[in-house]
Amino acid sequence: MPAQPPETIELPAGVLSRIRESDAEQIAAAARASMAHLQPWMPWATEAALAPEPQRAHARQAQEQWAQDAAYLYTLRRNLDGPVLGTFGLHRRIGPGALEIGYWLHVGATGQGYATQAAGALTQAALALADISRVEIHTDEGNKASAAVAQRLGYRLDRVDIRPAEAPAETGRRQIWVSGS
């Protein structure tokens, strides 16, 4: 069993590749183009945070996290040379033996199966790791599109945690979807 997920994962309609600092400009452009789509659900979706320099810093941090086995962050593209359609990640922030999948998509890439394909591939990659037995997707109860991704992949709703809303459209009811044991 591998200790880390692969740096590149082929999907039926795209490819996930490990985030590099050289991706920062395209990530910033895709997120800025999708700002109105992202802001209701993503507290980090601000003009300042989505400028190229903060995205370069984020990409450098992603490289450090990968090296430390703290998180594995990817860009999503139709092909390796194509524009960024979003970012996906596996995060070690929910305790031992588990990874959380986080993601966002460019507004023009929604409703086309990209999130389901990428989250499904990351679920498989995570569960193939030697130390992982559970993968979670956390969605706000109001974010029906993200919850649908977890449901399409066969995740089960484990619980709903109450917490303060962090973004404008959030309800404060975080759904914890689980795959694995």
Number of domains in the chain: 1
* Residue 118 forms part of a structural domain: yes
* Residue 1 forms part of a structural domain: no
pLDDT of residue 154: 97
Spatial distance between the Cα atoms of 26 and 35, rounded to a whole number of angstroms: 14
Spatial distance between the Cα atoms of 56 and 22, rounded to a whole number of angstroms: 8
* Residue 2 forms part of a structural domain: no
pLDDT of residue 49: 86
pLDDT of residue 175: 98
* Residue 147 forms part of a structural domain: yes
Range of the domain at 125: 8-180
* Residue 27 forms part of a structural domain: yes
Count how many residues are written for the chain: 181
pLDDT of residue 9: 98
- In the 8-state DSSP scheme, what is residue 154? T
* Residue 176 forms part of a structural domain: yes
pLDDT of residue 140: 97
Taking the CA atoms of the chain, what radius of gyration do you get in angstroms?
Answer: 15
pLDDT of residue 50: 86
The mean of the pLDDT values for the chain is 95
pTM score, two decimals? 0.95
* Residue 3 forms part of a structural domain: no
pLDDT of residue 3: 85
Residues of the chain predicted below pLDDT 50: none
Which CATH number do you get for residue 47? 3.40.630.30
Instruction: Determine which helix (DSSP H) or strand (DSSP E) holds 65, and give its type and residue range.
Output: helix 52-67
Nearest to 43 by CA among 173, 146, 167: 167
